[in-house]
A = this chain, B = another copy of it.
Amino acid sequence: MKVIVGGVYQTKFGELWDKNLTDLIFEAGSQALADARIKPKQIDLVVVGNKLGGKMQGQDHLASLTTELLGIEAPGVRVEAACASGGMAVHQAIQAIRAGEAERVLVIGAEKMTDATNGEVGAALMGAASNQERRAGLSFVGLYALMARAYMEKYGAKREDLVRVGVKNHEHASLNPKAQFQFKVSLEQAKNSQMVAEPLGLFDCSPITDGAAAVVLLKQNGVRVKRQVEILASQMATDSLGLTERDSLVEIRATKWAAKRAYREAGIETSEVDLAEVHDCFSIAEILAVEDLGFSKKGDGFKELKKGRFGLKGELPVNLSGGLKACGHPVGATGVKQIVEIVTQLRGEAGDRQAKKGRVGLAHNVGGTGGTATVHILRKI
């Protein structure tokens, strides 16, 4: 049985002072329904991905809020898997269709992060890490800085090899009207930017963002729909919460496990992937991702990035949306936004940032430092 994408929508990402969490959910949900030409009452399940609503807005129970808001008469659930909450929401929706529980599912990922101080957000985000890591006073950028250090030492990557991720993703974001940062940065600017946690500087780090994204998933009913995209694979994997329990700091095992199962489920080779949205919460994360997803050999990711392989005009464009780095990272929305971007690309509707070829796309979402990973593979029908 096939699951297809009926409609997609992404709100503008950024510091949206005039919008609250409810506004974002409403805009994304209603517009995705409009894109799918489906009425709220036709939806038979809602899945919401969100991490911080309970803490930041004092608002849990978001599935019920969403159905009330959109006039949907169907059950709903909220799922949370740290920064992979969005990817996990998509996964749960696909699972519900496969279980025969639903045929038309609305998935919404949303996060409102700018209503708190950066310190509060930083502390809240550490909810995705382990108790030991919190007690040790580590921050998220600090955890990824440890991974970056280990990688640089093992494979001889330099700081400029890392910042190239940000330079590339800003270039893509400059072409994306929905992106938080619609501007380019030069390698020099990025390299000389303020240090956040050695060796990760300002342009190695994704920002704090408000935003929402939504996807309508449908059980294939045999009717050929224009611009149709199907889900080839939906997989998730879980690893230890803390870095202390990992064998290696230079790979994210959950990504490898989820990817392996996803390629098997899709029945495709890694080489058949035409474009990907990967989880670049920090520059090192994108380099690990392209390796752990099998696009590059371990230790080669930064070299192939330098050669331009992952740019808009490269062989395998990565993060054409601008990624988490430059499109923005509203945590619960990110995994859903990745699906929106892949679908937009496969439909050929990505405007100035349209990939040359686009038949198969992959979306990769990570929670914490790799405690959770989801991998989705989509194909244009």
Chain A positions near chain B (C-beta within 8 angstroms): 22, 46, 51-55, 58-61, 63-65, 67-68, 74-82, 88, 91-92, 95-96, 98-101, 123-124, 126-131, 134, 236-242, 245, 258, 367-368, 371-372
CB distance from A60 to the nearest CB of B (A): 4
Beta-carbon contact of A51 and B60 below 8 Å: yes
A64 with B371, Cβ < 8 A, contacts A51-B54, A236-B75 known? yes
Beta-carbon contact of B79 and A127 below 8 Å: no
- Residues in B with CB closer than 8 Å to A124 are 54, 58
Beta-carbon contact of B96 and A61 below 8 Å: no
Contact of A78 among B46, B80, B96 (CB under 8 A): B80
- Residues in B with CB closer than 8 Å to A101 are 95, 98
A127 with B58, Cβ < 8 A, contacts A68-B241, A98-B100 known? yes
Beta-carbon contact of B95 and A64 below 8 Å: no
- Residues in B with CB closer than 8 Å to A237 are 75
CB distance from A265 to the nearest CB of B (A): 10
A169–B7 Cα distance when bound, in Å, is 49
Which residue among A65, A77, A99, A241 has the maximum number of chain B CB atoms within 10 Å of its CB? A77
- Residues in B with CB closer than 8 Å to A22 are 131
CB distance from A370 to the nearest CB of B (A): 9
| Nearest-neighbor residue (CB-CB) of A331 within chain B | B60
CB distance from A130 to the nearest CB of B (A): 7
CB distance from A58 to the nearest CB of B (A): 5
Beta-carbon contact of B61 and A368 below 8 Å: yes
Shortest beta-carbon contacts, A-B, top 10: A64-B371, A99-B99, A60-B127, A68-B240, A98-B99, A61-B82, A64-B241, A61-B128, A75-B238, A75-B236
Beta-carbon contact of A63 and B77 below 8 Å: no
- Residues in B with CB closer than 8 Å to A60 are 51, 80, 82, 127-128
Beta-carbon contact of B98 and A68 below 8 Å: no
- Residues in B with CB closer than 8 Å to A91 are 77
A372 with B58, Cβ < 8 A, contacts A77-B81, A81-B78, A237-B75 known? no
A367–B52 Cα distance when bound, in Å, is 19
| Nearest-neighbor residue (CB-CB) of A100 within chain B | B98
Contact of A92 among B55, B68, B81, B92 (CB under 8 A): B92
Beta-carbon contact of A134 and B368 below 8 Å: no
- Residues in B with CB closer than 8 Å to A80 are 54, 60-61, 77-80
Beta-carbon contact of B64 and A367 below 8 Å: yes
Beta-carbon contact of B61 and A81 below 8 Å: yes
A241–B134 Cα distance when bound, in Å, is 34
A61 with B131, Cβ < 8 A, contacts A54-B52, A78-B80 known? no
- Residues in B with CB closer than 8 Å to A130 are 65, 68
Q: A64-B367, A75-B372 given. 10 additional CB < 8 A pairs?
A: A64-B238, A64-B371, A67-B239, A68-B130, A76-B238, A77-B81, A77-B236, A78-B81, A79-B79, A80-B80
A127 with B372, Cβ < 8 A, contacts A77-B92, A79-B77, A95-B101 known? no
Which residue among A53, A129, A245 has the maximum number of chain B CB atoms within 10 Å of its CB? A129
